[in-house]
Every structure is written in C-alpha cells, then in structure tokens.
Structure 1
Amino acid sequence: MLYRFTYTKDGKPNPRIYDAVNTICKMAQKRSLVAAVLIATGASEFFTQDLEDIAERISPETEPKSRSENSQLSRSSLEEQSSAIMEKLGWSKITASAFAEKVTGKKFRKDMSTKELHLLVSAMLQELEKIPNQPKSK
C-alpha cells in the first residue's frame, strides 16, 4: 500500500511523502477502530462486505440457483426447518426450548445467530436420525 503513495501518477517520487505516511497511519487507525467496535459489540453479524450476504438480506425468500452443501440457509428457512423437525420429533415447545438451550445456550430462536441456528438444526437432525423407522433427511 505504501507504494501507492510513494510515487505520483507520473511515476516521480512523491515530494509530500510525510503526508502520505500520515494518511496511511490514519487509515490503519480507522480500520482498527472499526474492527474493534464490530468485535466488541458483535455487530459484524449485521454489517458485511460479502455480496452474497447482502443479497440474502435483501431478498431472503429467493433461493440461489445452485447452492453448495456448505453454504448457509437463510434465517427464516432455518427457523422453518427447526419447526418441522420439532414436529417430527413430537417435541413440545418446552422440550424444544430445553434442547436448544443445551445445544446453543439460548432458549429461543429469536435470540440465536444464524450460525447458532445452523448448529441447532444439525443437532435436531441427529436426534431425528436416532429414531428407528424414520426416513433419513437429505
């Protein structure tokens, strides 16, 4: 990055190199401050530079044409899936809430991050597979 400021657009040495160094320091300070705030508040879940995440938040109902097995499902889809599994397991809301707290540390889906919802759905699917004569999930 320093190279960008070392020379002018004409390829000549920058006579104001100390201004460039100051600019780079300010940029680094600003980036570290933003990173610290995002980490400390957990706000990185709500702010992203990943275009796939932005598209998912704008229209979560629209499914991508091709989805790899490792890509994340939308939050509403995960909530629907957990409800369907809960029904298949024959769990009451109290039982499901206790299981969710055991798996994620949180009782309610609204309090969980998308990652925690993934964890919950995976754990519920494992419980479903333990039941004999139950069709395997895809």
Structure 2
Amino acid sequence: MLLATLLVGCTKGDSPSSTIASDPLVGEFGIAQKGGIAPAFKVEKTDAGYIFSYEHKGSWEKSSQVAQKFPRELFEELMKSKTDESFTGLVDRVIMFAKVKPGFTAGNFKTATGYMIIIMMGGPIEVVKM
C-alpha cells in the first residue's frame, strides 16, 4: 500500500518538469534533408517566456529575443486557410512557428506532423519534433 501511494505521488502532473514535457511547443525541431532530419531550432520555456535557439554551423545560438504569441488570425491570413482551436504558435524576428492539427493543408502545403514554420520572405516548411 505504501509503495502504491509513493508511485501515485510521483506521477502527479503538477510538477514543473511535467508541465514543460507536455508543452507541445517545447523541444528540438528538425527539417527533412537528404533522406534524414537535420536539427534546425529548439524552443525552451524560461521564466521570461519562450526562447528560440538556432542551429548554426554545428552549435546552438540562443536568440536574445523572447518569442511572442503567434496570433491565430495572422496565421490564417498568411496561410489563406482556417485552422481549429488546436492551433498554437510563437513568433520572433526570424521565424513563425506553429503547432496545428496533423494533416493541416493550405494550398499545396500539407503537414503530417502538425509542426511547421514560416520563414520571413519564404513559404511554409514542415518540421519534425525530434
């Protein structure tokens, strides 16, 4: 009985690490290249907010800017397609990063993973959570 109580106590979802682990925006993300997945960026949640780090020549460079919420209305305007309530996203001066329902389509673009970025002066690119 004591063991069962201890195990239940260890699985409570109110610890900070379980909150971060369940945050769909936190993690390392890659882009498909030459039959594999190349690391591209990662997202960390800090006391200040979400921070992007970008892969550059084999090392990670942390952005000095705290990412802002990516408004759903702006996403729908840029993509010329509606999304549902599962949408969540972040934006900084380099990319717009979004988590949408897997299978989301907009024109010729489709994401199987539900993760995507929109690069300034470019189009949407599917990304994979690594």
TM more than 0.5 = no
Greater RCO, 1 or 2 (C-alpha within 8 Å, sep 6+): 2
Q: TM-score, normalised by structure 2?
A: 0.28
**Rg larger for:** 1
Structure with greater strand percent: 2
Q: TM-score, normalised by structure 1?
A: 0.27
